């Protein structure tokens, strides 16, 4: 069957980008300059990568690990559970909350201590409470990463301390964070600036170490990290005008300079995203790009429509280079059923396919020719006489 390819839709996209700040066009050639060895900027809504630097390179990720630790605990534990601290948890290296063996506190309070202050003893206590031991918990963490598409991540510790093959990539950590940000309890924890928690022995004041919350407009969190191997790391997120972005920086430096540089790197990356990108509705669900002629039916033409819509974050240059092609048969034979897949809409940018969307029939086209008409007449006549279903497949004319 001959296929029809409809030419690129540019005018609609150009009009939709008019409200983009003029400054964006001037900065498209100036992506962020960062010290981080690995970094990425991802749109949280769509998962589209807007910028990256060595984002697929395996690296130590320090306490950004605790994002996954928290999610596993939230999905598998009860926040009101009382957790008893073990000898192993109490022996955890710094930074820690100085928990002692036998001390008891709620899982909820452990999670606040984990995410606000990055205490390593709380990570071990959480892991043992959820899974019985640290090793099993780490396997669950790694399996969850695979499930989310973070296939280049291995968790050996729940705290992020360097051990064995413990590593991730900036891309994988962005995927994990994108998932975590969908959890409302996780969001409540990471957005808390200050809280007082208690154990059966004492109370502890916790202040969030995440400077982004107070220094960046629209900041949402998420997690700092440092080890001698990983350097200064940070996973951040912010939202402005309905756009939520995720930034990851690994190994932004060491010492005092590195500690400050991770914030500089993060702000530059987020600034780049908010300045240059805007959501553009490329196609809408139900858009009708054309019709298909149908033979052997009383309904000789049916409309086809997009099964779903597509909205993506684009900069003006990308928007002007988007191509939307529709491929479908010029003519088909009946029968055609409502919702039947008839072709594809292909959205691409400079040769890279961004999404393929089904084109589906918007109405039925029942087959109508001599053979089907005779079959219907005979079926009706026989059913009137026998009052039961009749199988006519054995008759040569109906094969």
pLDDT in tens, 55-65: 999 999 999 99
Q: What are the Cα distances from residue 311, in Å, to 29, 170, 280, 281, 283?
A: 24, 24, 5, 4, 7
**Class at the top of the CATH hierarchy for domain 3-16+281-361:** mainly beta
**Regarding predicted confidence, which is higher, 373 or 298?**
298
Name which residue leads in pLDDT, 131 or 380. Answer: 131
CA distance 332 to 392: 25
The sign of the dihedral angle between the CA atoms of 102, 104, 108, 112 is negative
Upper half-sphere CA count for residue 365 (Cβ side, 13 Å)? 26
Give the predicted TM-score (pTM) of the model. 0.86
pLDDT digits (tens, 9 = 90+) for 255-286: 999 999 999 999 999 999 999 999 999 999 99
Q: How far is CA 299 from the centre of its chain?
A: 42
Catalytic residues: 63, 66, 118
* Ramachandran assignment for 342, one of left (phi > 0), alpha (psi -120 to 50 degrees), beta (any other): alpha
Residues of each domain in the chain carrying CATH 3.40.710.10: 47-231
Q: HSE (CB half, 13 Å, CA atoms) of 167?
A: 13
Sheet holding 49-53, edge to edge: 49-53, 38-43, 243-250, 231-240, 219-227
Q: Which CATH class is domain 47-231?
A: alpha beta
């Amino acid at each position: 069957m001959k296929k029809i390819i409809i030419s690129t839709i540019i005018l609609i996209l150009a009009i939709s980008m008019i409200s983009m700040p003029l400054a964006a066009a001037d900065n498209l050639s100036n992506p962020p300059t960062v010290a981080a060895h690995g970094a990425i900027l991802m749109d949280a809504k769509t998962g589209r990568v807007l910028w990256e630097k060595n984002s697929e390179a395996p690296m130590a990720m320090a306490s950004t690990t605790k994002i996954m630790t928290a999610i596993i605990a939230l999905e598998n534990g009860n926040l009101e559970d009382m957790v008893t601290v073990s000898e192993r948890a109490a022996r955890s290296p710094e930074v820690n909350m100085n928990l002692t063996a036998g001390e008891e506190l709620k899982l909820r309070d452990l999670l606040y201590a984990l995410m606000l202050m990055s205490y390593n003893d709380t990570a071990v206590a959480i892991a043992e409470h959820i899974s019985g031991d640290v090793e099993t918990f780490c396997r669950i963490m790694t399996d969850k990463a695979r499930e989310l598409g973070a296939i280049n991540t291995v968790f050996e510790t729940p705290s992020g301390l360097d051990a064995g093959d413990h590593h991730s990539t900036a891309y994988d950590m962005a995927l994990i964070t994108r998932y975590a940000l969908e959890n409302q309890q996780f969001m409540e924890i990471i957005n808390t600036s200050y809280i007082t928690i208690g154990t059966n022995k004492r109370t502890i004041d916790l202040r969030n170490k995440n400077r982004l919350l107070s220094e960046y407009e629209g900041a949402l969190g998420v997690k700092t990290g440092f080890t001698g191997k990983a350097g200064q790391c940070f996973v951040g997120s912010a939202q402005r005008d309905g756009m939520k972005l995720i930034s990851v920086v690994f190994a932004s430096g060491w010492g005092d300079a590195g500690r400050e540089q991770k914030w500089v790197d993060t702000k530059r990356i987020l600034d780049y995203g908010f300045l240059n990108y805007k959501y553009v509705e490329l196609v809408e669900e139900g858009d009708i790009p054309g019709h298909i002629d149908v033979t052997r039916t009383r309904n000789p033409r049916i409309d086809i429509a997009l099964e779903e819509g597509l909205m993506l974050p684009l900069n003006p240059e990308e928007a002007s280079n988007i191509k939307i092609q529709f491929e479908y048969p010029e003519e088909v034979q009946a029968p055609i059923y409502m919702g039947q897949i008839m072709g594809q809409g292909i959205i691409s940018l400079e040769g890279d396919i961004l999404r393929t969307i089904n084109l589906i029939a918007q109405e039925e086209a029942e087959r109508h020719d001599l053979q089907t008409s005779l079959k219907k007449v005979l079926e009706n006549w026989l059913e009137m006489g026998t009052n039961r279903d009749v199988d006519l497949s054995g008759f040569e004319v109906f094969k």
